[in-house]
Chains A and B, each alone.
Chain A
Amino acid sequence: MDCRKIITSSIAAGDAVIPELEAQQICRAYDIACPATVLAPGKAECIAAATSMGFPVVIKIFSRQIVHKSDVGGVVTGIATADELGRAYDRMLANIAKSAPGAEIGGVIVQKQMPKGVEVVVGGLRNDQFGPVVMFGMGGIYVEVFKDVSFRLAPLDKDEALRQVRETKVYKLLQGVRGDKPCDIDALCEVMVNTGKLLAEYPEIAELDFNPVFCYPDGCTVVDARLVLKSS
């Protein structure tokens, strides 16, 4: 499925936010790395998928009716073995049957649990006066508090993305502090450039958050991709 089709069908379904699996497909089409993710219909497929991508993994319930997965016991993290996964799977489905009895279950998402890296946010929005804009900054849940962010108009090139990164304090963390290895800032800048491209090419996307993006000495991964569609 290509990006155009995903967006069109998401709009047709009345989504405000593109569902996770599809959002990841769009990211991959723009060379924006996401953790390995598989939708498994049953327990056996779940264990097979986890074994092939490697532990630890996260599992999440997949259902259109369940928006806040963790509120109904629909997310389990830090699963280290196949046995653990089997038990977690059974417990999750039992929980859901109780807390969301009417929900139509489409399966379980198995996702590779990424090791922690330097947490940054790459965001995007479409502004009335400026058009598509790319944001970069320190990631995590306190983005709004620290506001360690900088902006550029999209599209932008890699050198410009690097200057944007340098304007923030988290740049120091990316360079490596207290003996940490420096992060792959080049890969991060590529994600920013591709984010700008995505925004410029799809006016249907009103806002986006890649938060957090984990940065490592070799590459970076968008752990959570949230693509918000324009309300018509």
Chain B
Amino acid sequence: MAEPFTAPIDNFFNPRGVAVVGASATPGSPNNQIVQFAKQMSLNGKVFPVNPRSDEIVGLKCYPDLMSIPEPVDLVVIAVGAQHSLGVARQIARRRGEKGDAGAVAVVTAGFKEMATAEGEQLQSELIATIKASGARIIGPNCQGVADTYNGVNTTFSVPPNTPKGGVSVISQSAAFATSFLRWARDQKLVGVNKFVSLGNMADLDFRDLLAYMSDDEKTKVIAMYMEGIVDARGLIDISAKVTKRKPIVVIKGGKTSLGTNVAQSHTASIAGNNDIYDGAFRQAGVIRAQSVAEFYHTARVFDKMPLPKGNRIAILTVVGGPSTICVDELVSTGEVSLAHFSDELKKEAAKYLVASANIGSPDGYIDMTASVNPKMHTDVLRLLMNDDGIDGIIFMTTPPGFIKDDELAAAIAEGYNSVPDEKKKPLLSVMLAGNAVARCRTLLEEQGLPTFEFPDDAARVMVNMVRYSAYRRRNACQ
């Protein structure tokens, strides 16, 4: 027999048709939700529920088995119980043999290796071997599969179909972690998503494969990964180092246990936990590792919305003193970022726009406009900072005063930011220290692509990450 043709990963994200095996007619169940979401997102309507006991599910014709679907099916979702999954795998193999499609399989079903039982492990290896022998590729088992906002694909029951489109692609070992990111971001339009992958047990495809795929995917501007661990960490780092020369990877990694089993004869081996090696290896490969969930969320989305800083000289523009101190502390703490130097002309010019009590340049790189502000001052000073080539990025902090309307403030900030042509743009991070009281102002800015923050230290950490990645890109551009 000839070697089976190994299907491209693109089948997951660009399928001609999607079959959901184990689709349920019962509203309110996960397997019904999967079909609903798949139908709602689909651009061509080619969603085929499979269940021998139903004729129709969420208004779609239901098929008794995979073979009876007359149209091309590139993506198969296995959502039947674990004990029935092997039967579906055999049908996939048959379909590939006869029709040549069914190249991508998302095994949503749980009850395999993650159970840590001999049966679970055995079942998983049989399932994977059967599907792989046909040349099809597998995501999972024990996952939620994939979503693609541009191509209209969704095999999950928790990625909302109305998730805004954008340049962030998410690869996650935990579906819950990744979907909570999307839900957190949705109301204020903080993040736009391109692709979403929940990897589950990684019995076939893992981070390495998806990273390589997303590296070539034009619509992916940033890759955000939640990971716990991977056996071939060296392989992951090697691929990451290639990807980061083209686009940023932001990672948050759980599981901080050390080697444990290593019987060390040297200081080095006794001190070296995998977590510490990950730290160094990620830096070496230009991967940004976030230390907190907030840092992870914001860094990923800001990389998508803002251009990279060209250097490490950051200006602080504020109307609030205390939070700015926190921000500056965090900003300069790693030594990789410094405050910008203001020229005399810049200071003189800024003074024209602001009240006499404003603090311009103490410390250097810092402007406190005081609370006596109006929208125009924001525009004028931001224009000044945007036009100054000695400044690589700006953090703006405010508790928006009640006497300025949300839309006026948002418009003033946007006008200042957009006063320079695209090639002169630099990152502007706006901290709005008033929580939901300024939700509307934040949303207005986010809609125009200007990222906002609730807390000053989060903004500082994101700026450090951008500076760090930008330095990595510069030193790798000239090699």
Q: With A151-B277, A152-B281 as given contacts, are A129 and B270 in contact (CB-CB < 8 Å)?
A: no
The reply to whether A125 and B268 contact each other, CB–CB distance below 8 Å, is: yes
Report if A153-B268 is in contact (Cβ < 8 Å); known contacts: A127-B259, A130-B281.
Answer: no
Knowing A153-B280, A156-B284, A160-B284 touch, does A207 contact B274 (C-beta < 8 A)? Answer: no
Residues of A within 8 A of B232 (CB): 129
A130 x B237 contact (CB < 8 A): yes
CA distance A124 to B264 in the complex (A): 12
Query: Which of the residues A131, A150, A160, A207 comes within 8 Å of B266, measured between beta carbons?
Result: A207
Q: Give 1 or 0 for each of A131-164: 1 = CB within 8 Å of chain B CB.
A: 1010100000001100101111100100110011
Q: Do residues A144 and B277 form an inter-chain contact, with CB atoms below 8 A?
A: no
Number of interface residues of A (CB under 8 A): 33
- Report Cα–Cα, A215/B271, bound state, in Å: 22
Residue A74 is within 8 A (CB to CB) of chain B in the complex: no
| A150-B280 contact, Cβ under 8 Å, with A129-B234, A129-B274 | yes
A-contact bits for B55-86, CB 8 A (1 contact / 0 none):
00000000000000000000000000000000
Contact with A159, one of B276, B281, B475 (Cβ below 8 angstroms): B475
Q: Does A208 lie at the interface of the complex (its beta carbon under 8 Å from any beta carbon of B)?
A: yes
Residues of chain B within 8 A (CB-CB) of A151 are: 272, 276-277, 279-281
Could you tell me the distance in whole angstroms from the C-beta of A170 to the nearest C-beta in chain B?
A: 14
The reply to whether A207 and B234 contact each other, CB–CB distance below 8 Å, is: no
Give the chain B neighbours of A143 by CB distance below 8 A: 267, 271
The contact string, 1 if C-beta is below 8 Å from chain B, for chain A 14-35, is 0011000000000000000000
Shortest CB–CB separation between residue A140 and chain B, in angstroms?
Answer: 10
Asked whether, in the complex, the Cβ of A125 is within 8 Å of the Cβ of B272, the reply is yes
C-alpha gap A167/B277 in the complex (Å): 13
| Residues A207 and B264 in contact, CB atoms below 8 Å apart | yes
A153 CA / B265 CA spacing, docked (Å): 20
Hey, which chain B residues are within 8 Å of A147, CB to CB? 271
Whether a CB of chain B sits under 8 angstroms from the CB of A43 is no
In the complex, which residues of chain B have a beta carbon less than 8 angstroms from the beta carbon of A129? 230-234, 274
Chain B residue nearest to A209 (CB atoms) is B266
B276 touches A149 (CB 8 A): yes
Q: Which residue of A lies closest to B279 (CB)?
A: A151
Contact with B along A211-232 (1 / 0, CB 8 A): 1000000000000001010000
In Å, the complex CA distance between A225 and B272 comes to 18
Say yes or no: A17 contacts B265, CB within 8 Å. yes
Asked if A164 contacts B267 (CB within 8 A), the reply is: no
Taking a contact as CB atoms under 8 Å apart, the answer to whether A152 and B284 are in contact is yes
Q: Which residues of A contact B280 (CB under 8 A)?
A: 133, 150-153, 164, 167
Question: In the complex, what residue of chain B is closest to A135 when comparing beta carbons?
Answer: B268
Given known pairs A129-B274, A151-B276, the reply for A144 and B267 (CB within 8 Å) is yes
Closest chain A residue, CB of each to CB of B270: A144
Contact of A153 among B230, B237, B267 (CB under 8 A): B237
Q: Is the CB of B284 within 8 A of A135?
A: no
The reply to whether the CB of B283 lies closer than 8 angstroms to some CB of chain A is yes
Is B129 on the interface with A (CB-CB < 8 A)? no
Is B269 in contact with chain A by the CB < 8 A criterion?
A: yes
Residue A85 at the chain B interface, CB threshold 8 Å: no
A207 and B259 alpha carbons, distance in the complex (Å): 14
CA separation between A30 and B70, bound complex, in Å? 67
A226 to B237, CA, bound (A): 28
Bound-state CA distance A9–B280 (Å) is 34
Q: How far is the CA of A226 from the CA of B279 in the complex (A)?
A: 25
Q: Knowing A130-B233, A152-B280, A160-B284 touch, does A121 contact B267 (C-beta < 8 A)?
A: yes
**Is there an interface contact between B274 and A123, defined as CB atoms closer than 8 Å?**
no
- B234-A125 in contact (CB<8A): no
Chain A hits for B267, CB < 8 A: 121, 123, 143-144, 209, 211
Do the beta carbons of A208 and B233 come within 8 Å of each other? no
A residues in contact with B231, CB < 8 Å: 129
* Residues of chain B lying within 8 A (CB to CB) of residue A127: 233, 259, 272, 274, 277
A113 to B270, CA, bound (A): 28
- A110 smallest CB distance to B (angstroms): 26
Interface string of A77-109 (1 = CB under 8 A from B): 000000000000000000000000000000000
- Contact among A153, A163, A206, A226 for B234, CB-based, below 8 A: A153
Q: A149 to B230, alpha carbons, bound, how many Å? A: 23
Q: A residues within 8 Å of B by Cβ? A: 16-17, 121, 123-125, 127, 129-131, 133, 135, 143-144, 147, 149-153, 156, 159-160, 163-164, 167, 206-209, 211, 226, 228
Give 9 closest A-B pairs by Cβ, nearest first: A123-B268, A151-B280, A129-B233, A207-B266, A209-B266, A207-B269, A228-B265, A125-B269, A143-B267
Q: Which residues of B contact A (CB under 8 A)?
A: 230-234, 237, 259, 264-272, 274, 276-277, 279-281, 283-284, 475
7 sampled A-B residue pairs with Cβ under 8 A: A133-B277, A151-B280, A153-B237, A153-B280, A208-B268, A209-B266, A211-B267
